[in-house]
Structure 1
Amino acid sequence: MTSAVTTDKSARPGYGQLLRTPGALGFVLPGFAARLPFGMLTISILLLVQHTTGSYGSAGIVAAVTGISMALSAPLMGIFTDRFGQSAVLVPVVLAHAAAVTGLAALALADADVWFLALAAIPTGASVPQVGPMVRARWAARLEGSPLLPTAAAFESVTDEFTFVVGPVLATALCTGVHPAAGLVTEATLTLLGGLLFAARRASQPKTHVPSAGGEKRAFALSHPGLRVLIFAFLGIGAVFGGMQVSLAAFSNEIGNPGANGLLYGVFAAGNMIAGIAMGAVAWKIGPRRRLILGYVGLTAAASVLWAANSVLLLGGLGLVVGLFIAPALITGYTMVEQLVPANARTEAFTWLTGSIAFGQAVAVILAGRLTDAHGSSYGFLVPMAATALALATLLALRAKLAPKAPSRIVNSSAPESEAAAAATPSQAPRNRVNERGMGHRVPVTVD
């Protein structure tokens, strides 16, 4: 027990140590290149369709169909990835996505009806490559049981948010300064090149899980109740992204400065990135469930005052605060997957969370677009407020389902020994719970 306590009190591993993990840079760098375009997709669609139709509501419909299609296809893509491997799924997906985005852009420029654009948005969203979950699955496989795993989750959130800092700014600059379709064309090109490069890094892929008679039974990730709670909670984060994108764009137009949209959204995403960096550097003494709830409390409070902002400076400051509270919720939720879902379904689990964000974003884009068209940008900001409040209420009501299922991580043959040890040292049991893994290895688990 002494060694476990020592490990639990050790300093939090840093990003430098994480990136020195053998083989890490081989998938981190191409993974970043492949996911950068994801931050460009929704805003590029919004700006192009709004330009050709003159309506944020119509643009919101097309962007929402893209998001919903992605949300529905992402878990299926995750199941196929766990079964057949990342490269086998990624190569045809990025080829299909490049073709679908090109078709959508061509229809928009041809002034096609919004419903034709919505139909074209279905394959565009369904073919979005799930590179982020694939990178997270590689980290989870490489760092199984390691104290570096929370640091990896924080690093991935920082990487995601960096793409959401650079992506919208780049897309806005291209759409407003080069051509309305330039954002989508660039997104398709970068997705194709980055995705193929990432798929080529086969050595770091997690192993596939082929079902065999009498072997390991594969349960779908959605069968785990804790993941279902996280999925619902992540809808709130998606609604923040979607509501902010539409409302910030509308606010920028209202003040006669469309280019301010990229700057405002970049400040919002920068807050998320800053908080993500801090999350990876702190050795937390409170459990993940409490961190998750506290993150949503702050997020709900910050989102509830966005509607009152009436200047670029004030809106930028409030957006920064909202971004600061997203990272704790997002990072903690992704970290909890390692405790809630077995290894053979983790890519699927990550894609459910990513798809949930996309679905929440899609619904928020529709609602915020309609409200903005009818009443102005301040009404669009009500969508993130309502969605985060609902997510927080759900977490508070169902927090018990987020507890790790300890029996599934215990080797049955060692149970008597564990019970005897617990009985022998009752004073230590409340402070240091121990999960028994194979070969008698003990891993300390933070008490929530």
Structure 2
Amino acid sequence: MFEVDRSAVSLAPYRSVVSRPGVPGLLLVSLLTRLPIAAAPVVLTLHVVQDLHRGFAAAGLIGAAFAVGGAIGAPLLGRGLDRLGLRPVLVATTLVEGAFWCAAPHLGFPALLAAAFTGGLLAIPIYSLTRQALAAMLPLEQRQAAFSLDSMGVELSFALGPAAGIWLLTATDASTALLTVAVTVVTGGLALLVLDPPVRADAALVAAPGSAPAARVPARAELRWLTAPVLAVLVVTFASTFTVIGTETAITAVLTQTDGVEHLGLVYAIWCLASLVGGFVVGASGRHVPPVLLLLLLAVTALPVALADGWVSLALLVVPTGLFCAPVMSATADVLTRTTPVGVRGLALGFHSSALTVGSAVGAPLTGLVADTADPRLGFVAVGVVGLALAALAAVLGRVGRGERVEAEAGSALESALESALESAPEPVAAGGRAA
């Protein structure tokens, strides 16, 4: 684990970020928009179980349909942000997502299943949109702190959102809770329209050295940015949410088996607090920690959680794992915006959101399968081992990418040298003595 140099941890990076016009409002509106999105899964699950009288498996199908739609839609919406800008994408997604949550209480199960896919496909791309706007509004040196603040906001939304959804369900009913989700999501979309943050960067301000200009990218070149190093970042992104959601599932399974469900909220709170602390420290340090290293630490620290024999030891053992949750999320977004051309940044961050979604969708059921068929504590071992394997894969991809880059740079240097030699060569002289 890292030794933190206290003298290197400063609030200055955060002050510089929040002093930029438009950034505080964007972060606040993003947090408020994410709260109902975080609350929605538990509300929708209980609606399917209690109101439609279906089981949790059916509720899982609804959640899976929404997740699959979101995974497919995120890159498409990201490309829409690149080509059309913010307003057309935000108007369409706000209308569709608002309509879905308004209609959800009145649909039967088959119709709800189809609507969930559509609702996920055209959901407000709040995660990629926020990161794309931050990348457009801030220079390179301020992005790490900005993405750390954004990741801490995500942690807060997932700590507060489900609790708020459960409270609303117990105070009213699922239909009222779903309508509340609709109203708050639409309000968030309208607030983003009012803010109208830029999503197309000023290349002179924020483009990385050597990155492509913010011009429209031809269709045949749209995926040229998908190099081995970028694939490595996407693998880390998938693995991070796989590990985090898998750990969350294993925590629930262990406390359920040991009759400690009443302590579940407290254990989650401690875990989320550790993640906030980790995100804050990494962002304040100004150091760029490689995402693959953060994933490695996340996976390694998940393994000893299997030794927990009660809720107290479980709460203590998940703290080291929590320290790396927010940092790995922010690091992947930071590296992705540094290594992809400005003209396809929305598409790249859309793939980033898809990797987050798919990792979550795969992590929970696989960990649950381990918990059901073996000891729930082995769920921590499973997510740790998978995380380590994916970290190794990402490291190999990164190494391949470095080799390709060195070869490309060598070839470019040779080509430049040949061009210079040809330009400096004496011009041939014609037979009559005049330059040809």
Q: CA deviation at 1:266?
A: 3.3
**Contact 1:218 1:344 (8 Å CA) reproduced:** no
Q: CA deviation at 1:74?
A: 0.4
- The answer for the alignment partner of 1:173 in structure 2 is 167
Q: Within 1, Cα distance between the matches of 2:220 and 2:55?
A: 50
Q: How does 1:218-237 map to 2 (within 5 A)?
A: 219-220=222-223, 223-237=226-240
Task: Choose the corresponding residue for 2:283, options 268, 280, 284.
Answer: 280
**Contact 1:34 1:131 (8 Å CA) reproduced:** yes
Q: Does 1:239 align with 2:245?
A: no
Unaligned runs of 5+ in 2: 1-7, 203-213, 421-436
**Contact 1:227 1:337 (8 Å CA) reproduced:** yes
- The answer for the alignment partner of 1:443 in structure 2 is none
- The answer for the alignment partner of 1:188 in structure 2 is 182
**Contact 1:169 1:263 (8 Å CA) reproduced:** no
- The 1:11/1:294 distance shift into structure 2, 3 A limit, reads same
State the AA in 1 paired with 2:318: G
Q: How does 1:360-399 map to 2 (within 5 A)?
A: 360-372=359-371, 377-378=376-377, 380-381=379-380, 383-399=382-398
Residues 38-80 of structure 1: CA deviation (Å, up to 9, x unaligned): 3223344445445566755444333233222211110111001
Q: Classify the secondary structure of the residue corresponding to 1:223.
A: coil
Q: How does 1:273-352 map to 2 (within 5 A)?
A: 273-284=276-287, 288=289, 291-352=290-351
- The 1:176/1:372 distance shift into structure 2, 3 A limit, reads farther
- The answer for the alignment partner of 1:73 in structure 2 is 73
Q: CA deviation at 1:15?
A: 0.8
Q: Does 1:270 align with 2:270?
A: no
Residues 151-192 of structure 1: CA deviation (Å, up to 9, x unaligned): 112222112222122223223333455445665443332211
Q: How does 1:134-149 map to 2 (within 5 A)?
A: 134-145=129-140, 147-149=141-143
- The 1:175/1:12 distance shift into structure 2, 3 A limit, reads closer
Q: Within 2, Cα distance between the matches of 1:322 and 1:335?
A: 21
Q: Within 1, Cα distance between the matches of 2:329 and 2:18?
A: 21
State the AA in 1 paired with 2:229: G
Residues 303-336 of structure 1: CA deviation (Å, up to 9, x unaligned): 2234443422222223332221122322221111
Q: CA deviation at 1:380?
A: 4.7
Residues 252-276 of structure 1: CA deviation (Å, up to 9, x unaligned): 5545565644443333222222111
Task: Choose the corresponding residue for 1:133, options 125, 128, 132.
Answer: 128
Q: Classify the secondary structure of the residue corresponding to 2:139.
A: coil
- The answer for the alignment partner of 1:354 in structure 2 is 353
Larger radius of gyration: 2
RMSD of aligned Cα (Å): 3.6
**Contact 1:236 1:390 (8 Å CA) reproduced:** no
Q: Within 2, Cα distance between the matches of 1:402 and 1:170?
A: 44
- The answer for the alignment partner of 1:201 in structure 2 is 195
Q: Classify the secondary structure of the residue corresponding to 1:356.
A: helix
State the AA in 2 paired with 1:141: A
Q: Within 1, Cα distance between the matches of 2:182 and 2:104?
A: 11
**Contact 1:85 1:207 (8 Å CA) reproduced:** no
Q: Within 1, Cα distance between the matches of 2:401 and 2:49?
A: 41
- The 1:338/1:12 distance shift into structure 2, 3 A limit, reads farther
Comparing 325-334 and 272-281, the one that deviates more: 325-334
State the AA in 2 paired with 1:219: E
Q: Does 1:155 align with 2:158?
A: no
TM-score normalised to structure 1 length:
0.75
**Contact 1:57 1:370 (8 Å CA) reproduced:** no
Q: How does 1:397-412 map to 2 (within 5 A)?
A: 397-401=396-400
Q: CA deviation at 1:21?
A: 1.0
Q: CA deviation at 1:98?
A: 2.3
**Contact 1:13 1:151 (8 Å CA) reproduced:** no
**Contact 1:340 1:402 (8 Å CA) reproduced:** no
Q: Within 1, Cα distance between the matches of 2:312 and 2:157?
A: 23
Q: Within 2, Cα distance between the matches of 1:120 and 1:387?
A: 33
**Contact 1:300 1:388 (8 Å CA) reproduced:** yes
Q: Within 1, Cα distance between the matches of 2:102 and 2:371?
A: 28
Q: Within 1, Cα distance between the matches of 2:318 and 2:42?
A: 17
Q: CA deviation at 1:358?
A: 0.6
Q: CA deviation at 1:295?
A: 1.2
**Contact 1:43 1:168 (8 Å CA) reproduced:** yes
Q: Within 2, Cα distance between the matches of 1:399 and 1:185?
A: 46
TM-score normalised to structure 2 length:
0.77
Q: Within 2, Cα distance between the matches of 1:185 and 1:247?
A: 31
- The 1:124/1:10 distance shift into structure 2, 3 A limit, reads closer
- The 1:176/1:300 distance shift into structure 2, 3 A limit, reads farther
Q: CA deviation at 1:351?
A: 1.8
Residues 108-138 of structure 1: CA deviation (Å, up to 9, x unaligned): xx6x4xx665434312322321112212212
Q: Within 1, Cα distance between the matches of 2:124 and 2:258?
A: 36
Q: Classify the secondary structure of the residue corresponding to 2:195.
A: coil
Q: Within 1, Cα distance between the matches of 2:189 and 2:326?
A: 25
Q: Within 1, Cα distance between the matches of 2:76 and 2:149?
A: 26
Unaligned runs of 5+ in 1: 1-8, 420-448
Q: Within 2, Cα distance between the matches of 1:326 and 1:258?
A: 23
- The 1:151/1:387 distance shift into structure 2, 3 A limit, reads same
- The 1:87/1:264 distance shift into structure 2, 3 A limit, reads farther
- The answer for the alignment partner of 1:86 in structure 2 is 86
Q: Within 2, Cα distance between the matches of 1:298 and 1:41?
A: 31
Q: Within 1, Cα distance between the matches of 2:184 and 2:367?
A: 29
Q: Within 2, Cα distance between the matches of 1:316 and 1:205?
A: 40
